């Protein structure tokens, strides 16, 4: 089955096809009948889980089973600070920034490790930590899936910019208290310690995040409160090379991408049509690309993405209209 055979017209209440902003009919993308087709649709989800589990397994195997390669431990430490093969230091730049404002003297190896990770996200993959590395994403994706299945509504609304206030508060508290404030309460760090070292009461924090996102607010932690996601949005949103490319010429504004996206505000299609990419808070999770019926969303290097027109076709000024 090719892509065109997998499309079903999207109809209005009057039974007539809905026509998109580009003058073309809107469609639903049918589920592939074959397992190979389903795996292709799920490809980014599968790759993200493989990435997250592999990173956890490397930490776990090195700590518990003494994994080595060329006589060196494979991956020691944790997500805040680690070393690969005893050679390459890696450090969470947000944690290092908190330690810096807390007025601690930073070791040169820590600074090198922070520069390595900062360069990776700022120059290459943007906010990909949230969807490809963070172990808490596995939990929050599960809560999001259950919300859709159970049709659970939000209890209240909260601005997604709240996370930037939390980021600022973490830095201020670090400066005042002399400790890395967010690292003490981070459910990400707690979850990682529980999985790798098996210590602490981190499971309570993880359960709290799961319940909060399931019953209280959709994407409440990852999309509204987490300062680490806010940090990576700031450092990599405008400079990272890997972006989700938006082709406004083929897009019908059917809205299927916004339904599945954990950060739907990045799908401001008018703005995306001007610059050719989605917004800076995109996590590069890839969920939107397989569900787009017209193939209007795809990963591409920033340097290959040309500037798009800053206005829609004059012949199709409305976002949705019905076929005559």
Q: Is 275 helix (H, G, I), strand (E, B) or coil?
A: helix
**32 and 61, same domain (yes or no):** no
- Is 80 exceeded by the pLDDT of residue 323? no
pLDDT of 306: 59
- Do 17 and 52 share a domain, yes or no? no
Averaged pLDDT for residues 146-169: 95
Using the 3D structure, point to which of 234, 251, 267 is the last residue of a domain.
Answer: 234
Q: So what's the pLDDT on residue 88?
A: 96
Residues 32, 49, single domain; the answer is no
The percent of residues in the chain predicted with pLDDT above 90, rounded, is 64
67 and 150 housed in the same domain: yes
Provide the pLDDT for residue 195: 86
- The count of domains in the chain is 2
Residues 95 and 227 in one domain: yes
pLDDT digits (tens, 9 = 90+) for 16-48: 777 877 778 777 777 777 888 889 889 999 999
Which of 234, 251, 278 is the endpoint of a domain?
Answer: 234
Residue-level pLDDT at 120:
96
Q: 314 and 202, same structural domain?
A: no
CA atoms within 13 A on the CB side of 206: 20
284 and 295 housed in the same domain:
yes
Digit-coded pLDDT (tens) for 76-85: 999 999 999 9
Alpha helices in the chain (DSSP H): 35-41, 43-65, 93-101, 108-119, 136-150, 162-177, 181-185, 187-196, 202-211, 227-236, 256-260, 269-275, 288-291
Q: Which domain holds residue 164?
A: 44-234
Percent of the chain at pLDDT above 70? 91
| Residue 133: closest CA among 191, 73, 211, 194 | 191
pLDDT at 318: 37
Q: What is the mean pLDDT of the chain?
A: 88
Task: Examine the domain organization and report whether 158 and 196 are in the same domain.
Answer: yes
In a shared domain, residues 272 and 212: no
49 CB neighbour count, 10 Å cutoff: 15
18 lies in the same domain as 83: no
Choose one of 193, 215, 234: the last residue of a domain. Answer: 234
**3-class secondary-structure state, position 86:** coil
Shared domain check, 221 and 153: yes
Instruction: Mark whether 50 and 98 lie in a shared domain.
Output: yes
């Amino acid at each position: 089955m090719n892509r065109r055979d997998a499309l079903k017209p999207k109809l209005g209440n009057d039974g007539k096809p809905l026509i998109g902003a580009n003058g073309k009919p809107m469609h639903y993308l049918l589920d592939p009948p074959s397992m190979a087709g389903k795996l292709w649709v799920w490809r980014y989800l599968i790759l993200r889980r493989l990435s997250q589990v592999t990173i956890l397994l490397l930490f776990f195997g090195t700590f518990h089973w003494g994994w080595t390669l060329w006589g060196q431990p494979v991956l020691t430490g944790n997500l805040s600070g680690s070393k690969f093969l005893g050679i390459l230091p890696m450090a969470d730049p947000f944690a290092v920034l908190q330690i810096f404002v807390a007025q601690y003297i930073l070791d040169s190896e820590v600074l090198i490790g922070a520069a390595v990770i900062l360069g990776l996200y700022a120059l290459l993959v943007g906010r990909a930590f949230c969807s490809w590395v963070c172990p808490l994403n596995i939990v929050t994706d599960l809560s999001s899936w259950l919300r859709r299945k159970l049709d659970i509504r939000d209890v209240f609304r909260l601005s997604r910019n709240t996370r930037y206030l939390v980021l600022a508060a973490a830095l201020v508290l670090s400066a005042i208290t002399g400790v890395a404030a967010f690292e003490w309460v981070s459910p990400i760090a707690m979850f990682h310690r529980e999985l790798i070292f098996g210590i602490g009461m981190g499971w309570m924090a993880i359960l709290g995040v799961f319940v909060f996102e399931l019953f209280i607010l959709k994407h409440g932690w990852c999309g509204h409160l987490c300062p680490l996601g806010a940090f990576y949005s700031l450092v990599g949103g405008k400079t990272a090379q890997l972006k989700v490319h938006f082709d406004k010429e083929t897009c019908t504004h059917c809205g299927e991408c916004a339904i599945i996206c954990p950060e739907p505000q990045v799908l401001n299609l008018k703005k995306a049509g001007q610059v050719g990419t989605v917004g800076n808070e995109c996590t590069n999770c890839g969920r939107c690309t397989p569900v787009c019926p017209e193939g209007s969303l795809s990963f591409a290097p920033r340097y290959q993405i040309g500037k798009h027109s800053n206005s829609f076709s004059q012949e199709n000024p409305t976002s949705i209209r019905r076929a005559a």
